[in-house]
Each structure stands twice: as structure tokens, then as C-alpha cells.
Structure 1
Amino acid sequence: MNGYLIYIVRRLGQFVLVVFIGINLAYVITHATPIDPVEQSISAATSFGNTAPDAIEQMRTSLRELYGLGGSPVEQYLVFWRRILRADFGPSMSAFPTPVSTLIGRALPWTAGLLMISTIITWVLGNLLGGLAGYYQKSRGLKLMGVIAMGLHPIPYYILALLLLIVFGFLWPVLPIAGGSAMNLPQTWTWDFISSVLMHAILPALSLILIGIGSWFLGMRSLVSNVVTEDYVVYAELGGVDRHRILTSYVMRNALVPQVTGLAISLGGIFNGAVITEKVFGYPGIGSLLVDAVYAGDYGLVLGVTTISIVGVSIGVLAIDLLYPLLDPRVKVR
């Protein structure tokens, strides 16, 4: 147990280091852009008429303090980290004066709900079908699924999203093609709102599931194909152990270990969103928010979304690192 506690402390230290380096890189990259949010805001404010020079200078001073751009680079860096620790990214330049944290808070549940459910469904179906295909290698139906998976896997998300949009939005208009729910519908825990959210999520989720299931299927089939040749599996088959038990307890359980790692990374990456898919369907998630922020040059919002993504991915990797020794006894805690 003491060894596991030391292991936890080390992994927590690595987690903090990764997050620190990632956020610093995001800070340097966003501040290296030629866009000055202060001057851009002043230009937008003074584009409708003349403004006195004193008023412009006061506006410039106030905005620099508001955006954390006042003082020396060291002072700006310290202000940035103080805001990060308070989850305060300042106001959004493109949606001024709404705080960045408020915009992210509105968009995050949409992305988290859509991508978390899609990722879990994709992982379960892909691994289940891939495990069956790897074990029952003579099944024609499973071979056909493998061909379909290999055909869908290389297709980009946005291509399939556009195809679904054309088919179910124009050729056979039975599903909503834009938004997260029906317009003018109160966002409350009522059946009308929940059913509307589910209907609007079908096409985005389907585009993610159909593409993502191929990689899990092919990966699991390959792992199971290697595991079934192991001596302990052959011995169990010769010993007359039930094939269902061999598949679940001997084969898939061992083959799932690396797939669990991939699931943790995928769940951590939900904060990135399927950016293009969300934009195609007009889904009000992090992906659409990030694209709009990039177009508007709102580097504060870009930095906020990037920071959330870095922390999310790092937490996913940390979770699987802590669970790995418990899931697989062969992994030694060092």
C-alpha cells in the first residue's frame, strides 16, 4: 500500500508539471499573435464617431487592466496565473463584457454530454464487436463488419457529418440539422426540453460514432487475435472450458487493458470537442465556441478553451495511470 501511495504522489507531480507546461505554452502562443485585443476593442468602440484623445487613453488604460495586459511582461504573467487559479480568464473580447468563464460554462455541458455519451457508446460497441470478430474469426457477419469498419475508419468526421446533413436534412428531412435544442424552449428539466436535446444530438453523435467505432473495432480485433494464441487460452480450450467464459474472462479481459487507456485519453479529449462536427451542425459546444473565438481574434477565449482542454486531457491520463495497477495486476507500481 505504501508503494501505491508513492506511485500516486509521483503521478500527481507529473500531472501538475504537464498542466503547468501546457498552459505556459498556450500563454506564449496566444500572446505571440499580432492581434492586440485592447487596440481592437478601441477601434471597434471609436468606429462610429470621433472620440476625445483623453477618453481613448483612459479607455486604453482600463482595457489593459481588464485584459491583464498592464505592466511589464512579468507582471502580466503573474496576473495571468492568478486568474487561472481563480478560473477567471477575464472578459471575452468578441462578447464583451461577458466573462470567458461564463461562455465556457454555457458551452461545456453541451460538448461534455454529446461527446462523453458518443465516446462511451463507440468504445463499448467497437470493443464488443471487435472482440467477437477476433475470437470467432470464421463468422461471415463479423468479417463483413470488419470490412465496413475499415471503410468508415479513414473518412474524416466532417465528411460524414456533411453526408448526414444532406441525407437527413434535405433528402429525407426527419431530424433537426442545427442547434442543441428547439428555439424558444426553456432550458429546464422537462420532457419537452430533454427530448428536443436528444433529437438534435442524433446526427452529431451518429457522425462521431460511425467513424470512431472503426478504430476501436480494428484495435480490439487485432488484440484479441494475438491473445487467442496464448498458451493459457489454448490450454483452457483443450480443458473444455466454456467458450463464452474463455472469451469474457480469458481473452477480452486481457485485451481490454490498452483499450481502457485509449478510453481515458478520449474522455479527457472531449473538452476539445469534435470542432468541425459541432460547427457543421451548429451545435452550441466548445468546438463552435473555439472556432468563433479564432475568427474574432478573441485570444482570451481561445486561451480559456485551450486551458480547459489541457486540464481535461491531463485528468483523463492521470485517472487511468492511477487505475492501471488496479485493473492489471501485471503492472508493477514503481
Structure 2
Amino acid sequence: MSGYAGYVGRRLAQFLLVVFIGINIAYVITHASPIDPVEQSISAVTSFGNTAPDAIEQMRRSLRELYGLGGTPVQQYLAFWKRILSADFGPSLSAFPTPVGTLIGRALPWTAGLLTVSTLIAWVLGNLLGGLAGYYRQSRGLKLMGVIAMGLHPIPYYILAMLLLILFGFIWPVLPISGGATMNLPQTLTPEFVWSVLQHAILPALSLILIGVGSWFLGMRSLVANVLAEDYVVYAELAGVRSWRILTSYVMRNALVPQVTGLAMSLGGIFNGAVITEKVFGYPGLGSLLVDAVYAGDYGLVLGVTTISILGVSVGVLAIDLLYPLLDPRVKVS
């Protein structure tokens, strides 16, 4: 157990380092943007009429202090980390005076629900079908699925999203194509609201699932083909072990280890191709929020969303790193 405790300690240190570096990179890139949120706010105010220069200068100082842009670059950097550690990204420029945390809190459940459900469905279907295709290599139906998977795999999420939108929104309009639920519907756990959410999530989830199934299918089929050449599988076949037990207990169990790693990274990534998909369907998630924030030059909101993304990916990878020795005894923790 002491060996595992040391392993956990090393992984936690790596986790903190990755989060620190990732957030710093996001900070540098965001502050290198030519868009100045303070000057944008002043331009928006002064566009309605003339304003006294003293009032404009006072407004500029107040806004710089409000957005943590006052003082030297070092002071701005320290103020930024103070906000990070207190989980306070300040008010949003594009939705002033609403705090960034409030906007993220509203959008996060939509993205988390959409990505979690679609990723899990794609992972289960892709690995199940890929495992069967890799083991039963002579099945014509599974070969056809392999061809379909290879056709879907290189298609970008947003291209498939556009095709689904055109097909089910205009050619055969049977599904809603925008929003997360029916407008003016109270967001409570009533059957009407839940049914509306499910209907609005079908198209964005379908665009993610179809691409994801193809990717998991191809990966699992290749892994199973490699495991089939292992001596213990050949010995089990010669010993007369039932094919279904060989597939489930010997082949897929070992082939799933790298796929579990991929699942953790997919669940950790709150975007993972969903940014443009959410924008295409007007889905009220973090992807749409990020795109709107970039257009508005609201880099407080951009930093908030990217920080949540970095934490999500890092936590997902950390979780699977900690579970890896428990899933695969071949992983050394000493």
C-alpha cells in the first residue's frame, strides 16, 4: 500500500503542475489578444453621446480595477491567481454585471449532460461492436459496420451536425434544431420539461455519437486483433474454452484498458468537438458561451471557461491514472 501511496503522490504532483501550466498558457494567450475589454466598454458607453473626459478617465480606472487590469503586469498576474484560487473570475463584460461564475454555472450542466451521455453511449456501442468485429472477423454484418465506421471517422463533428440540421430541421422537420428546451418553459423536473430537453438534445448528441462510435469501433477492433495473437488466447482456444468466454474474459477485458484511458480523457474534456456543435444547434452549453465570449472580447469569461476545461481534462486523466493499477496489475506503482 505504501508503494501505491507514493504513486498517488506523484500523480497528484503531476496534476497540479499540468493545471498550473495550462492555466498560465491560457492567461498569456488571452492577454495577448488585441481586444481590450475596458476600451470596448468605454466605446459602447460613449457611442450614445458625448461624455466628459474626466468621467471617461474615471470610468477607465474603475473598469481596469474591476477586471483586474490595474497596476503592473506582475500585479495583474497575482490578482488573476487570487481570483482563480477564490473561484471568482469577476463580472462578465458581455453580460455585465452578471458574474462569470454564474454564467458558467448555468451553462455547465447542459454541456456536462450532453457530453457525458453521448460519450458513454458512443464508448459502449463502439467498443462492443469493435470487439465483436475484431473477434468474429468473417461476419459480413460486422464488416459492413467497419466500412461505415471508417466512413464516419474522418468527418468533423460540425460537418455532420450541419447535415443533421439540414435533414431533420428542413428536409424532414421532425426534431427541434435550436436551444436546449422549449422557450418560456419552467426549468423544473417536470415530465414536460424533461421531454423537451431530450428532444432538443437528440441532434447535437447524435452528431457526437455517430462520430464517436466510429472512432471507438476502429480502435477496439485493432486492439482485439492484437490481443488475439497473444499466447494465452491461443492456449484458451486450444483448450476448448467457449468462444464467448474467450471474447469477454480474455480478449475484451485486456483490450479495454487503453480504451478506458481514452474514455477518461473524453469525459474530462468538456469541449471535445462540442464547441462548434453547440453553436450550430444553439445549445446553451459552455461551447456556445465560449464562442460568444471570444466575439465579445470578454476574456474574463474566456479564462473562466478554459480554466474549467483544463481542470476537467486534468481530473479525468488523474482519475484514470489512479485507477490504472487497480484495473491492470501489470502497471507498476513502486
TM-score bucket (shorter structure): over 0.9
| Match status 1:74 vs 2:74 | yes
- Alignment-derived partner of residue 25 in structure 2: 25
| Match status 1:225 vs 2:220 | no
Report SS of the residue matched to 2:326: helix
Using the TM superposition, give the Cα deviation of residue 271 of structure 1 relative to its aligned residue in structure 2, in angstroms. Answer: 4.5
Using the TM superposition, give the Cα deviation of residue 192 of structure 1 relative to its aligned residue in structure 2, in angstroms. Answer: 0.6
- Alignment-derived partner of residue 94 in structure 1: 94
For the aligned residues, what is the CA RMSD? 0.9
Report SS of the residue matched to 2:101: helix
Alignment of 1:228-247 (within 5 A): 228-247=228-247
My pick for the range that moved more, 30-39 or 139-148, is 30-39
Report SS of the residue matched to 1:270: coil
Q: How far, CA to CA, are the matches of 1:318 and 1:104 in structure 2? A: 23
Letter in 2 for 1:322: L
Letter in 1 for 2:90: G
Q: How far, CA to CA, are the matches of 2:140 and 2:270 in structure 1? A: 35
- Alignment-derived partner of residue 13 in structure 1: 13
Q: How far, CA to CA, are the matches of 1:270 and 1:91 in structure 2? A: 22
- Alignment-derived partner of residue 180 in structure 2: 180
Using the TM superposition, give the Cα deviation of residue 270 of structure 1 relative to its aligned residue in structure 2, in angstroms. Answer: 2.1
Instruction: Decide whether the 8 Å contact of 2:266 with 2:272 is kept in 1.
Output: no
Instruction: Decide whether the 8 Å contact of 2:267 with 2:313 is kept in 1.
Output: yes
- Alignment-derived partner of residue 45 in structure 2: 45
| Match status 1:300 vs 2:300 | yes
Unaligned runs of 5+ in 1: none
Paired residue total: 334
Instruction: Decide whether the 8 Å contact of 1:273 with 1:287 is kept in 2.
Output: no
Report SS of the residue matched to 1:143: helix
Residues 41 and 103 (structure 1), Cα distance of their counterparts in 2 relative to 1, 3 Å cut: same
Letter in 2 for 1:200: H
Identical-pair percentage: 85
Provide, for residues 29-57 of structure 1, a one-character-per-residue CA deviation record: whole Å limited to 9, x for no partner.
Answer: 11111111111111111110111222112
Letter in 1 for 2:279: K
TM-score by length of 1: 0.98
Using the TM superposition, give the Cα deviation of residue 273 of structure 1 relative to its aligned residue in structure 2, in angstroms. Answer: 5.7
Q: How far, CA to CA, are the matches of 1:91 and 1:287 in structure 2? A: 19
Q: How far, CA to CA, are the matches of 1:34 and 1:233 in structure 2? A: 60
Instruction: Decide whether the 8 Å contact of 2:157 with 2:207 is kept in 1.
Output: yes
Using the TM superposition, give the Cα deviation of residue 272 of structure 1 relative to its aligned residue in structure 2, in angstroms. Answer: 5.5
Letter in 2 for 1:233: V
Instruction: Decide whether the 8 Å contact of 1:115 with 1:273 is kept in 2.
Output: no
TM-score by length of 2: 0.98
Report SS of the residue matched to 1:184: coil
Q: How far, CA to CA, are the matches of 1:311 and 1:143 in structure 2? A: 39
Instruction: Decide whether the 8 Å contact of 2:118 with 2:205 is kept in 1.
Output: yes
- Alignment-derived partner of residue 157 in structure 2: 157
- Alignment-derived partner of residue 259 in structure 2: 259
Q: How far, CA to CA, are the matches of 2:271 and 2:112 in structure 1? A: 7
Using the TM superposition, give the Cα deviation of residue 295 of structure 1 relative to its aligned residue in structure 2, in angstroms. Answer: 1.0
Unaligned runs of 5+ in 2: none
Provide, for residues 73-101 of structure 1, a one-character-per-residue CA deviation record: whole Å limited to 9, x for no partner.
Answer: 11111110010011111111111111111
Q: How far, CA to CA, are the matches of 1:223 and 1:75 in structure 2? A: 51
Instruction: Decide whether the 8 Å contact of 2:180 with 2:197 is kept in 1.
Output: yes
Using the TM superposition, give the Cα deviation of residue 243 of structure 1 relative to its aligned residue in structure 2, in angstroms. Answer: 1.1
Q: How far, CA to CA, are the matches of 1:42 and 1:287 in structure 2? A: 27
Letter in 2 for 1:30: T
Letter in 1 for 2:278: E
Q: How far, CA to CA, are the matches of 2:272 and 2:124 in structure 1? A: 21
Letter in 1 for 2:4: Y
Residues 143 and 273 (structure 1), Cα distance of their counterparts in 2 relative to 1, 3 Å cut: closer
